[in-house]
Amino acid sequence: DTEVTQTPKHLVMGMTNKKSLKCEQHMGHRAMYWYKQKAKKPPELMFVYSYEKLSINESVPSRFSPECPNSSLLNLHLHALQPEDSALYLCASSHRDNEETQYFGPGTRLLVL
Amino acid sequence: EDKVVQSPLSLVVHEGDTVTLNCSYEVTNFRSLLWYKQEKKAPTFLFMLTSSGIEKKSGRLSSILDKKELFSILNITATQTGDSAVYLCAARKTSYDKVIFGPGTSLSVIP
């Protein structure tokens, strides 16, 4: 299994809603990432989890809350988002020690109304 | 501040042409250079370069890294319309698994 999966593929939410994005990989990777990508821009790193511990938070607003319940799963909890948070949210994973390639999931396209 | 720069930002070529995409970086604690191809959705991995001067090849694509001059190139020979995409270059740091992406080169291959 060489795949990173993300659900849902698309999400529309209001500014008062609470929703969660999910990411899963079964490649034994110990580093997992959340990126935000706006149209015609490169991915911007949001969070990195290494061995299930948060190792990087790129000054992301608290309305985004990551969670890593186990080594295969990564969640991003969303609450009180703004319309400017609309973007493609990408999850990625990599072996931390021996293999540096990041494998990306297909992304969740989020629209905040 | 760490940065990754790509040039050109966009490029239009005819099928069969050869293209060279450029990536330069200024990154502290540099570890490796990654190339990705992004079409409509998530980036797909192309190459990872760690050592200078060693060319990596995959079909019509090849890439090389120069750690002294801090740049990398991605070559695509005999381009096809399916090569149309945004090509992203990213520098990986040694610390905390951080990856910094360049702005991308948008390549359009016309028949």
**Tokens coding B54:** 């060693």
Residue B14 forms contact with A (CB below 8 Å): no
pLDDT single digits (tens) A59-87? 899 999 999 999 899 999 999 999 999 99
User: Are A56 and B97 inside 8 Å of each other by CB?
Assistant: yes
What is the percent of chain B where pLDDT is above 90?
76
The DSSP bridge partners found for residue B40 are none
Spell out which residues of chain B touch residue A90, defining contact as CB-CB under 8 Å. 42-43
| A85 Cβ neighbours under 8 A, 6+ residues apart | A36, A63, A64, A78, A110, A112
pLDDT single digits (tens) A30-60? 889 999 999 889 999 899 898 899 988 888 9
pLDDT single digits (tens) B41-68? 889 989 999 889 999 999 999 999 999 9
Nearest-CA residue of chain B relative to A89? Answer: B42
Q: Which residue has the higher pLDDT, A40 or A90?
A: A90
Distance CA(A79)–CA(A74), nearest Å, equals 17
